[in-house]
Amino acid sequence: MDFALPSLPGLLAALDSWLSLLLKRIRLIQLACFLNGGIISTITQRAQIMTDAINVENEQRYVDELKIQRLLAIYIHNLDDGKFTENSELLKHAEFTVLRDTAHGREEVEQFFIRGVQRHEDGTPRTWHSVSSALIDISPSGDSATCVSYFTVHQELEGFPLQPICTGRYYDTFEKHDGYWRFTSRNVVPRLMGDLQFHVGAPVNRAQME
């Protein structure tokens, strides 16, 4: 049986058609790769932006917590040094409550300390306050916060050996004003008490304790 071979022009035409189809498929593949690459790049960029925003927010909250912890420390340093005026300045925008007694503003708070805390020969209460287990919560807006912390007070005087005299909790609120944190309230709630005869200005009503 004889087979007729295709003519050369026919072969060239078939090859042309096949190459044209192949080029179209290559271009489609390149276009798909380009589009996919753009989508992936966009997703990656957006994910990075979100990650950066979260990191900035977390860093700011960490800084805010450190600043609030500093306020907690300043208060007890002032108190143990007998610096009632400085603590009244620290609390000038706050409502200050001990048990059921409350003071507002710089002058009231200073008088509250003068009447309520004994200062001895060296001008201090001869106390050593420690603050621990502070739970600070920053609001979602970042401009207010709450905190609850433990406090422990030790005291030592001539004839009165060093000993713990009181423990309790501080319940605090804060606000950020012009970029600075400040107290808006402090509630001092004693929990366990020892010998307070050389510390407080008046006997404590234990029925008002936590």
Q: What is the pLDDT of residues 60-91, one digit of tens each?
A: 999 999 999 999 999 999 999 999 999 999 99
What domains are there in the chain, each with its CATH number? 62-208 (3.10.450.50)
In total, the chain counts a number of residues equal to 210
pTM above 0.75, yes or no: no
Q: What is the pLDDT of residues 103-149, one digit of tens each?
A: 999 999 999 999 999 999 999 999 999 999 999 999 999 999 999 99
Contact between 125 and 79 (Cβ < 8 Å): yes
